Amino acid sequence: MRPGIMRPPNLRSAAVTLSPESAVDAVVARIKANADRWVAVSISERVLYLERCMEALATVAPAWAAATARNRGLDPSGEDTGEAWLSELMPTMRSLRLLAVALRAGGQPPPPLVATRSGDQKVVRVYPTDLMDKLLFTGVTADVWIQPGMPASQGQLYRDKAAGRTKKGAVSLVLGAGNVGSICPTDAIYKLFVEDEVVVVKTNPVNAYLTPYWEACLKPLVDDGFIAFVDGGPEVGVALTEHPDIESIHITGSDKTYDAIVWGTGPDVAARKAAGQKRNSRPVSAELGCITPVIVVPGQWSKKELAYQAKAVAIMVTNNASFNCTAGKVLITHAGWPQRQEFLDALRAAFRGSPRRKAYYPGSFERYDRFLAAYPSAEVVGVREDGCVPWTLIPGLSADAAGEVAFQQEAWCGVLADTALGASDAGDFMRKATTFANERLWGTLSANIIVDPRTRKSFSSAYDSMLADLQYGGIAVNIWSGAIFGLASPPWGAYPGHTAADIQSGAGTVHNTYLLDHPQKTVLEAPFTIFPPPAWFDGHRGAREVGERMVAMEGRRSWTALPGLVRHALRGGS
């Protein structure tokens, strides 16, 4: 057992931790030997694998949640574990279950709704998937917009299999993220079940303490040689990305890591990019973060609505100590909104009421210090002590300033920048906010919009245009865009179109349990306020119990967990 890592009894990691020379070749060879065998595994056998993984996850879930909480400096036996249940265990269980549902339907599970927008663009509803979803989050919908001119087709892999067209087995390398523990297992099963490739997972040292839990969850697939986990540092990653038997790569991380893999390092990288001379020619899909905007459409809100939305924005920053690619980073408001200062004051109060969080991700304080140096007027909430980066608001940035650091560099710590746009009315603001987000902010992964129903109705044309024109892979309205990731049924990834030379938020998608062949973006919409407040809100007194029961309901889809779930959800009300 590695020092400092607590595991439940009899749970041991089989992940390789040796040097690249002695370990990587053997691991890749073992997984490659099973690549063709995996391609031949029938749909019914694949469903059984998924069901067995769900059973294994249910067993290991409490210890996994406690380990995550402990690593993040939270109470592993209290409500603090709710964050892990909701962001790690629930998405993993839901991904396993919904993939099984998809395979039982031959890779083409019937969506709740398929509609057509102007210009013959198809829109596919992927949430709610059933009555239980509808009851759990009343009024919440997720629609996937298909790339213009493309059909709303599903499950290309399984259509090909049914037609007798199969490809040769292949080995994929998944480079895991260090921030959210559901990313490694869900990326691995996506490559396996949707792209038909066996998988070597190179874990990130930041959360490699979860390796034994991932292995326990996916044990049926690990035991049969279809997935292997490898722990180690950068040298192991380099050995794997350059291994001749690795045929594709998926990375969740930073654009700098992507560039190092694809283009190499050194002073001639820019020249190689310009000439199109890749150092690594394998297909590389990626999810690489974003300067996530929070667009607040002006309206006339009650004090209760102001307080609710301030808490909603604060949690976009404070969840997981802001180590989320969906963390809110730039607040965009209307300069002439009469309630702008009242909203900012409510946001400050929400930050003051948010608990401090351990800055567990390496380099947090260095990044934070760079932002403070760039913005001496930053408002620091609380004090910097006990390994915590204090929540920080950078007010009043000019939307027209060239080279603004906060618009181009992801802080990856608890910093939120504020900018205001001049506009004649709410409709004009929506148009200008869309242009600003598309043209001035780095990345295209996810965006947040807050708009009340009265304003939305009065400016319906401008609202529809904003949804159509925002170039983001996930757009969340009146709910945090992190929920798109958690629901599993929507595709998760950057807006299509980035090139290898300018990758920004990445290329390709994962999750996507409806197996849509040509997704463009997901639009997740919720009521203006949700009661009771979502369990991920700071201070929710039933977060752990809600998370536990949601995982149980995903695992068995039983109504028996519903009364207890509702009871604990109501503990978050005020």
For 417-441, write each residue's pLDDT tens digit.
Answer: 999 999 999 999 999 999 999 999 9
Confidence of residue 80 (pLDDT cuts 50, 70, 90): confident
For residue 371, being part of any structural domain is answered with: yes
Residue 423 domain flag: yes
The answer for 564, left when phi > 0, alpha when psi is -120 to 50, beta otherwise, is: alpha
**Is 70 exceeded by the pLDDT of residue 230?**
yes
Q: What is the pLDDT of residue 7?
A: 41
Asked if pLDDT for residue 257 goes beyond 60, the answer is: yes
Q: Measuring CA to CA, how many Å separate 74 from each of 185, 356, 474, 512? A: 23, 10, 29, 31
The number of domains in the chain is: 1
Here the CATH number for the domain that contains residue 303 is: 3.40.309.10
| Res. 482: pLDDT tops 50 | yes
Mean pLDDT of 294-316: 98
C-alpha separations of 458 from 27, 294, 452, 475, 526 in Å: 60, 21, 10, 21, 18
d(CA 158, CA 137): 31
**Which is higher by pLDDT, 351 or 20?**
351
Domain assignment present for residue 216? The answer is no
Rounded distance, CA 456 to CA 301, Å? Answer: 13
pLDDT of residue 271: 94
At 6 the pLDDT is 34
Query: Residue 77 falls within a domain, yes or no?
Result: no
Half-sphere exposure (CA, 13 Å, Cβ side) for 233? 2
Residue 71 lies in a domain: no
Asked if 466 and 443 touch (Cβ cutoff 8 Å), the reply is no
In a domain, 416, yes or no: yes
Spell out the residues 6+ positions from residue 539 whose beta carbon is closer than 8 angstroms to its own. Answer: 353, 572
496-510 core/surface letters (b: 16 or more CB in 10 A; e: else): bebebeebbbbbbbb
Q: In this predicted structure, what is the pLDDT of residue 539? A: 86
Question: 330-339, 351-360, 539-548: lowest mean pLDDT where?
Answer: 539-548
Whether 256 is covered by a domain: the verdict is no
497-534 pLDDT tens trace: 999 999 999 999 999 999 999 999 999 999 999 999 99
Distance CA 4, CA 427 (A): 54
The whole domain housing 433 covers: 292-525
What's the pTM value of the predicted model, to 2 decimals? Answer: 0.95
Which strand ranges, in their side-by-side order, compose the sheet holding 198-202? 227-230, 198-202, 171-175, 248-252, 284-287, 506-507
Is the confidence at residue 1, as pLDDT, over 50? no
Q: What is the mean pLDDT of residues 104-133?
A: 96
pLDDT recorded at residue 17:
58
Q: Which segments of 319-386 does DSSP mark as H helices, in order?
A: 340-353, 364-374
CA 195/CA 190 separation, integer angstroms: 7
* CA pseudo-torsion sign 281, 285, 286, 292: positive
Instruction: Give the model's pLDDT for residue 8.
Output: 45
Q: In this structure, is residue 78 part of a structural domain?
A: no
The pLDDT mean for the chain works out to 94
Q: Could you give the strand order of the β-sheet that contains 474-477, starting from the edge strand earlier in sequence?
A: 113-116, 122-127, 141-146, 519-525, 474-477, 446-450, 292-296, 328-334, 415-421, 391-397, 379-381
Most confident of 1-5, 24-28, 330-334: 330-334
Give the CA radius of gyration of the chain.
23
H or E stretch at 262: helix 255-263
Among 492, 485, 50, 22, CA closest to 227: 50
Where b means 16+ CB within 10 Å and e means fewer, 452-468 reads: beebbeebeebbeebbe
In this structure, of 163-177, 341-355, 498-512, 547-561, the range with the lowest mean pLDDT score is 547-561
Given a contact cutoff of 8 angstroms between Cβ atoms, the answer to whether 411 and 371 are in contact is: yes
- What is the percentage of the chain residues whose pLDDT exceeds 90? 89
Task: Provide the b/e sequence for 558-570 (b: ≥16 CB within 10 Å).
Answer: eeebeeebeebbe
CA angle 175, 177, 180 (to 5 degrees): 145
Structure tokens at 528: 């203006």
Torsion sign across C-alpha atoms 111, 195, 203, 255: negative
